[in-house]
């Protein structure tokens, strides 16, 4: 189990690093917003994999709650893009 989870965490870490490079090199704000969203979901996946690795009993609770509140980050970024207008 540990080997599999480590492989997943490595792939997700690579996704986060690529996303950070993309945030640094992006020219417009919209790209930065959507790549930040990708980094958020990758972090949630890494936390899930960490929970599986240490045999935690709240793995499903973590991914359940974070998938429900994930929209708040995107809505906040969208509101920032339009500077407060709807």
Partner 1 sequence: MNETLATVLVGIFGITGSLLLLSSALAMFRVRDSLSRINVFSPATGLGMPLIVVAAYVFDLHASGFDWVSLLMAVVAVLCLIIVSSVASNTLARSAVLSGQPVFRKTSPNRLAQPPVGAEDVEPGTDRP
Binding footprint of partner 1 on the chain (CB under 8 A): 1, 4-5, 7-8, 11-12, 14-16, 18-19, 22, 27-31, 33-35, 37-38, 41-42, 44-45, 48-49, 51-52, 55, 57, 59-61, 63-64, 67-68, 70-71, 74-75, 77-79, 81-83, 85
Least separation in angstroms between residue 13's CB and partner 1 is: 10
Q: Are 71 and 20 in contact (CB under 8 A)?
A: no
CB of 84 to partner 1, least distance (A): 11
Q: How far lies 20's CA from each of 10, 34, 77, in Å?
A: 15, 12, 17
Q: Minimum Å distance from CB 9 to partner 1?
A: 8
Alpha-carbon distance of 70 to 55, in angstroms, equals 24
Characterise 26 by phi-psi region: left (phi > 0), alpha (psi -120 to 50), beta (else).
beta
């Amino acid at each position: 189990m540990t080997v599999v989870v480590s492989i997943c965490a490595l792939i997700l870490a690579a996704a986060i690093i690529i996303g950070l490079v993309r945030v640094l090199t992006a020219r417009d704000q919209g790209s930065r917003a959507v790549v930040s969203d990708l980094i958020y979901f990758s972090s949630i996946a890494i936390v899930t994999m960490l929970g599986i690795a240490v045999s935690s009993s709240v793995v499903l609770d973590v991914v359940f709650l974070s998938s429900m509140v994930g929209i708040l980050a995107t809505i906040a970024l969208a509101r920032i893009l339009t500077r407060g207008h709807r």
